Structure 1
Amino acid sequence: RMCDLLVEGSPGPPPTAPLSVKGRLRFAAGEWAEAVLCADFVLTCALAALLVSLPQTSGHFHREPPHSTIVLTPAGEAFVKELLLDQPYVPSNEQIVPNYALVLIIALVPTFASAICSVVQPVAGAVRAWLHGLLLTLSLTELVVDCTKNYCGYWRPYFYHECRFNLTTALCSERSADATSSFPSGHAAMSMAAMLHTTLLLIGASRLGGADTTIRLFRNISLDYGNVMLVVCLLPVFLGLWIGASRVRENDHHPADVVGGALIGGSFAVMVHSRYFHAPFSQVAHMPRRPAQSASAKSECVGLLG
């Protein structure tokens, strides 16, 4: 019965007749089941796990602690800290968006948006393309961010606090990889990757480039709600920007770290979305590029369930 449901909801031509609420829910359930139970999902998860684990094999570059030297007398000198690296440290449990909150946001917000779209705008194969695209986007972003952090080893704004800098010797008492992991911002990169991926999904599902977005109020008066829908679709991106900005506010990253992270995450979101879906404002923006066939979906389902 599950496989029959998958075949009915498997990628193929979209239904021509309007679906009832029950039909939409059944169609969406089939789409989600197929997206998770297909062999491609297992392969995508394996690829994502491999990409995320690769940075663990590379070493972390540790920069020498920066300082300025002031010559007081021919026989004496004093060391002065860099003010931009001597900012107050905010513990993880007191941060605006701690790590656990970031994980919940990048998991729940895109999933909720896709679930709504799969019911309101049912398109065969869209859930599968979205889910696999999200996993690939996040894993690629994590790979590049972690490798760049390890390679650059740039100081965080609270570097002196983290490394226990000694003004007498101009040396650090502790060597912390976290203290030299400022560039790029992982929060900014991951949030922008997930949120821009979600925004592109919403723009396509809203069909802003191909559907009539006007409502006739009176005989000669009509209202175009397209711009309002565009702003609604951009809400996830605004959330991602706020998460990145919070990292600067609480002295966890420099502004350039956040900009760099957002560019990395946003670039992968656009790239992977283009691989799975058509251009956001095209007439077929809501359609996946290469939907699988119902027969192959059913055979994969039988193999996984059996």
Structure 2
Amino acid sequence: MTHDPRQLRDAFGAFLTGVTVVTTINAEGQPIGFTANSFTSVSLDPPLLLVCLAKTSRNYAAVTEAAGFAVNILSEAQKDVSNTFARPVEDRFAAVAWRRGPFGSPVFDGVAAWFDCATHSVVDAGDHAILIGRVEAFENSGLTGLGYARGGYFLPALADKALISGQDMPQVLGAVAERDGQLMLTQTPDGGLALPGLELGSGEGVDALTAHLAGLSGLTAQPGLVYSIYEDTRVRRQHVIYRVTLGEGAATGGVFFPVEALPLERIADAATRDVLKRYAAEKSLGNFGVYVGNQEKGRVHAQPVRS
């Protein structure tokens, strides 16, 4: 039976995976690497893992003939690293802090985990090769890994049941957007205030929120972790609010207020007031959580403190 390659690839893409960068040292002593999400553990005794490499890859010969390779599991803050190693960039390693692992292959700083491996075997598998590595050394940072599905990135920390269950209703992305101790709010037609945000269109994601905030403020916007996920049962909308850091420069839009002196009386929506009151309280403690529930009741889940 003949399958359409693109449709088959899309179907494979339904499986949620992590994102890794596989690295080694070539015959000239230079570091090489590529982004891969076809990674899995194989065995604990002996300690084995595998990754798959396309035979069309320019790294194919160097990797399959090397004595070993490393697998760097990227953390949720390393989407740029993934993109760099997925593209034909001349000096990919200039974009990441790295060192040689105990067995000799490049391992990265800031990853969720790395494994420095000896090549155990190379198995032919159609248009790919399966690289099986024996783990000689590894390090687990405890950071959350970066996820990938359907051709796009996601943060596993955001895949809460509430986030998944709300996919059958329109989704509104909002932002607690901070710069130098001040939060940006937007003015409503009646003179009130609201969180900046937008209702997502088909196929849109967090990048749409980033672009919206940049267009609204004239500043760069860097989304961080999700801060609040709640369903507004009155109007059947799911709200996902991110913590966002705004860049330096003169803002061209939005209105800014100190976190400790937010004009809550000008905010008509009770759920938004609750978000901002909680943010001000948690900001003073330096420890943020994630609210999951609806506009009236829910639970704040603690986030791990990261050094």
Which structure ranks higher in relative contact order (CA pairs < 8 Å, sequence separation ≥ 6)? Answer: 1
User: So what's the TM-score if we normalise by structure 1?
Assistant: 0.21
Determine which structure has the larger strand proportion and give its number.
Answer: 2
Instruction: Select the structure of larger CA radius of gyration.
Output: 1
Q: Hey, which of these two has a bigger chunk of helix by percent?
A: 1
